[in-house]
A and B are shown apart, each in its own frame.
Chain A
Amino acid sequence: MKIEVRFFASLREALGSAEWFEHASAASVGEVRDILAARGGRYAEVLGRQRAVRCARNRVLCDESAPAAEGDEIAFFPPVTGG
């Protein structure tokens, strides 16, 4: 399964703005997060469970139980601060 992962704000600064993610078994957005965090280093620092991370699937806010499917665009970012 191949999906595009995008990062914004502090996560973008740590990890870059986007990357392709391939994994046989990631079934949800939360699992994608955990697999990325398990890489360690900066990934663990900014995506670990100790951090407040929000996510979107195909450009709509979602929670981590949302399914991750082939061709999805999944984004991770800090809580928003616009307005």
Chain B
Amino acid sequence: MARLGVSIQHGDFDLAAEVAALRESDGGVGAVVTFIGTVRELSDGARVSAMELEHYPAMTESAIEAMMGEAAARFDIRAARVVHRIGVLAAGEQIVLVAVASAHRGTAFQACEFLIDYLKTRAPFWKKETTGSGATWVDARVADDAALARWGIAAGDLAAPLDHMAAPPGRRDR
């Protein structure tokens, strides 16, 4: 069984500490892949002074846990960790961490990308950016839906139960 953990928090996270915890007491780990999303300082040319992240408290953790369970079912991973921040963040701050540990790099890369693609399109978070012209909700990106589609999942197909998803795609070139 892969060790899976998720935290939704206001405070920042420490990449080194998270990676150390992921590898701790598991001699079978030979690869760790991490993704960190940060607040862009520029959005469509406008300078971002702050970003506010709203979420659906009762749903967020269980939705991400379900995604991690799906990742563990698809890929031979040993551990995975997701940390997602909420509240008001300044430009340049860390927003999200996805970290995956496995025996070999291929599955860690794939599972990490799968998790962030999935999280971006199906975890209940919403970003509001403040620029010189005021605060506006960030629009969902079509490219994010396309990213999820590579894994055989239609982003619009919101009713698709996790255990009925299509098989994972074949190995992709890197």
Query: Chain B: interface residue count, which band?
Result: 20 to 34
- Provided the pairs A59-B59, A80-B122, A82-B84 are in contact, do residues A54 and B95 lie with their beta carbons within 8 angstroms? no
Residue contact B140 to A8, C-beta cutoff 8 Å = no
Q: Is A41 an interface residue (CB 8 A)?
A: no
- Cβ of B32: which chain A residues have Cβ within 8 Å of it? none
User: Does chain A have a CB within 8 A of B120?
Assistant: yes
Contact A83 B126 (CB under 8 A): no
Q: B139 within 8 Å of A by Cβ?
A: yes
Q: Which residues of B contact A79 (CB under 8 A)?
A: 121, 139-140
A9 touches B140 (CB 8 A): no
- A: number of interface residues (CB 8 Å): 25
A1-44 near B? 1/0 per residue, CB < 8 Å: 00000101110100000000000000000000000000000000
- List residues of chain A with CB under 8 Å of any chain B CB: 6, 8-10, 12, 52, 54-56, 59-63, 65-66, 73, 75, 77-83
Which residues of B does A touch, CB under 8 Å?
37, 53-56, 58-59, 62-63, 84, 95-96, 116, 119-128, 137-141, 144, 157-159
State the 7 A-B residue pairs at the shortest beta-carbon distance, nearest first. Answer: A82-B125, A79-B140, A9-B126, A83-B120, A59-B59, A63-B159, A61-B158
